[in-house]
């Protein structure tokens, strides 16, 4: 994806633990080679006593690919209609995925409202196997944001939103 000149690559995968010495080193080397075009993800998870804890990638990876926030909070009725543009965690400001990929350089609002006019089915999704088989995918990827993660907008890590029902938090961020 880096060689295909993607504008940004978001790794929406669990990097909160080690994968093994050689795999960790290979990923760190790839992130270094991407020269700042890769972002990792942070999201809340339920902790002990129902407290929500922020899951961040390992510091080693976050230093090379700063995280974007992909979680969302529901309104009182349990439905998500907007989400934060950023959050502050232990003194660090973490932009939401939508904030990071928006072409507007300065966003002063504290939240995005979901744009229900966007059709999630129009957002291209390709299996990693198809990318590997295709070879040079510059014509599809160049200048675009590539999100590496779930291949479908299933309910895993889901959020309930009008029009779509259950969608993953990452998909909610794409509805800005």
Residue 154's pLDDT band, with cuts at 50, 70 and 90, is very low
Residue 153's pLDDT band, with cuts at 50, 70 and 90, is very low
**What does the pLDDT look like over 35-55, one tens digit per residue?**
888 898 888 776 555 567 888
Is residue 83 within 8 Å of 72, Cβ to Cβ? yes
The pTM score is 0.76
Return the pLDDT at 35.
85
Return the pLDDT at 50.
57
Reported for 3-6, long-range contacts at CB under 8 A and 24+ positions apart, including other chains, are 3/138, 4/136, 4/137, 4/138, 4/140, 4/141, 4/142, 5/138, 5/141, 5/142, 5/143, 6/37, 6/141, 6/142, 6/143, 6/144, 6/145, 6/146
Return the pLDDT at 6.
80
Tell me the percentage of the chain whose pLDDT exceeds 90. Answer: 2
**What does the pLDDT look like over 85-132, one tens digit per residue?**
888 888 888 988 888 888 766 767 788 788 888 888 887 777 777 777
26 is written with which tokens?
């290979």
Return the pLDDT at 23.
84
Is residue 47 within 8 Å of 74, Cβ to Cβ? no
């Amino acid at each position: 994806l880096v060689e295909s000149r993607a504008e940004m690559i978001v790794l929406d995968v669990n990097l909160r633990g080690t994968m093994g010495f050689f795999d960790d080193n290979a990923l760190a080397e790839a992130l270094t080679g991407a020269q700042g075009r890769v972002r990792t993800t942070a999201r809340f998870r339920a902790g002990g006593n129902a407290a929500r804890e922020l899951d961040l990638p390992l510091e080693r990876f976050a230093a090379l690919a700063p995280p974007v926030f992909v979680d969302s909070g529901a309104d009182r009725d349990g439905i998500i209609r907007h989400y934060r543009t950023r959050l502050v965690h232990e003194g660090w400001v973490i932009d939401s995925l939508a904030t990071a990929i928006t072409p507007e350089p300065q966003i002063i609002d504290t939240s995005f409202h979901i744009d229900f006019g966007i059709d999630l089915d129009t957002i291209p999704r390709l299996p990693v196997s198809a990318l590997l088989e295709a070879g040079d995918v510059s014509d599809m990827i160049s200048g675009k944001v590539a999100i590496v993660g779930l291949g479908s907008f299933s309910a895993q890590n889901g959020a309930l939103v009008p029009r779509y029902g259950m969608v993953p938090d990452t998909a909610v961020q794409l509805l800005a």
